[in-house]
């Protein structure tokens, strides 16, 4: 066990510079980008999160700095942040389960469905076990005010996400939502007035979960989770949550900036738009790796959402 922890630490320290091999046997040289994950401090899992479900499948490691979440035939598992945020930067280093993972979903997302069950907001990073091959898929999505229109975009990885830890991050403020993988932006959802009703604006909690999504993620259950290979274990480390926390029992109140980076507030001008390097990197990711966008799905949407025009 001590050796395992030592190897894990080495991998966690080196993963961003050593893993350029695609799980599709293709080789990529990734663009150079600013490392937003270096700007914020790590939070303690046991101090910053509560068990959301499946407590017996949640294991804290390294004095609460790391956690494993598992899915077995009895239950999945998940964590929810103790604080709610009006905006912020949220990140985790995650290593996904290896092997045949059809129907397994690991989610890193923001939501306020507990407070607003009929008009909730949601910002999703969903990591989907592939239904035909031993590969994972990255799906991003945005919901607001209970709007049921899905705004999914799906990407292949440029690495094997089961071998080492990789950063999955969400930047959310009044200017835009940005989804990042290893600090490379893969999607930007700007708040430019075209779809204000679809822009998340209410305080949200951060969730990390693993669950059985056979019916949802595999064409109506065509490729369900095969529990012969259970338990499916995902490892999570380097958790970061920095931004505007909602004061307890005061929804809509001014927020506490106690967790903001000393370098720059997440809601400040330095986080209002992507840099030239980030735009170039996002163009690279979208041209090379995106294989589905709701804005091109004319069979699903007879009238495309306004931001697609």
Domain range annotation of the chain: 2-308
Of 122, 153, 188, 240, the active-site residue reads 122
Question: 128: closest CA among 58, 23, 14, 52?
Answer: 23
Q: Quick one: pLDDT at residue 273?
A: 94
Query: One digit per residue, pLDDT tens: the chain, 309 residues?
Result: 333 333 333 344 333 333 333 445 567 899 999 999 999 999 999 999 999 999 999 999 999 999 999 999 999 999 999 999 999 999 999 999 999 999 999 999 999 999 999 899 999 999 999 766 668 999 999 988 887 777 999 999 999 999 999 999 999 999 999 999 999 999 999 998 766 677 898 999 999 999 999 887 666 667 889 999 999 999 999 999 999 887 655 554 456 554 444 445 698 888 999 999 999 999 999 999 999 999 999 998 888 888 887
Structure tokens at 26: 């293709």
Instruction: Tell me if residue 53 falls in helix, strand or coil.
Output: strand
CATH 1.10.3470.10 matches 2-308? no
Of 126, 153, 188, 240, the active-site residue reads 126
Q: Positive or negative CA dihedral for 294, 295, 299, 303? A: positive
Q: Quick one: pLDDT at residue 247?
A: 63
Catalytic (active site) residue 126: yes
Catalytic (active site) residue 152: no
Q: Quick one: pLDDT at residue 309?
A: 75
């Amino acid at each position: 066990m001590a050796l395992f922890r030592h190897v894990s630490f080495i991998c966690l320290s080196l993963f961003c510079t050593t893993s350029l091999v695609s799980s599709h046997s293709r080789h990529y040289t990734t663009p150079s980008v600013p490392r937003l994950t270096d700007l914020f401090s790590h939070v303690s899992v046991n101090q910053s999160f509560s068990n959301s479900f499946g407590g017996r499948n949640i294991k804290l490691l390294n004095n609460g700095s790391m956690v494993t979440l598992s899915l077995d035939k009895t239950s999945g598992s998940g964590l929810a942040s103790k604080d709610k945020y009006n905006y912020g930067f949220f990140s985790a280093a995650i290593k996904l389960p290896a092997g045949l993972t059809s129907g397994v979903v690991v989610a890193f997302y923001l939501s306020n469905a507990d407070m607003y069950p009929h008009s909730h907001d949601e910002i999703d990073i969903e990591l989907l076990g592939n239904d035909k091959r031993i590969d994972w898929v990255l799906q991003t999505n945005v919901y607001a005010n209970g709007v049921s229109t899905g705004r999914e975009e799906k990407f292949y990885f440029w690495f094997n996400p089961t071998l080492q830890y990789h950063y999955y991050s969400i930047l959310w403020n009044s200017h835009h939502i940005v989804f990042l993988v290893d600090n490379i932006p893969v999607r930007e959802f700007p708040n430019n007035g075209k779809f204000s009703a679809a822009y998340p604006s209410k305080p949200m909690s951060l969730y990390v979960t693993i669950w059985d999504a056979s019916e949802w993620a595999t064409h109506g259950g065509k490729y369900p989770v095969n529990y012969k290979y259970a338990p499916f274990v995902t490892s999570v480390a380097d958790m970061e949550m920095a931004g505007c926390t909602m004061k307890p029992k005061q929804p809509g109140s001014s927020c506490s900036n106690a967790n903001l980076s000393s370098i720059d507030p997440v809601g400040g001008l330095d986080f209002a738009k992507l840099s030239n390097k980030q735009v170039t990197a996002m163009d690279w990711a979208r041209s090379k790796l995106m294989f589905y966008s709701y804005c091109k799905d004319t069979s699903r949407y007879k009238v495309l959402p306004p931001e697609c025009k």
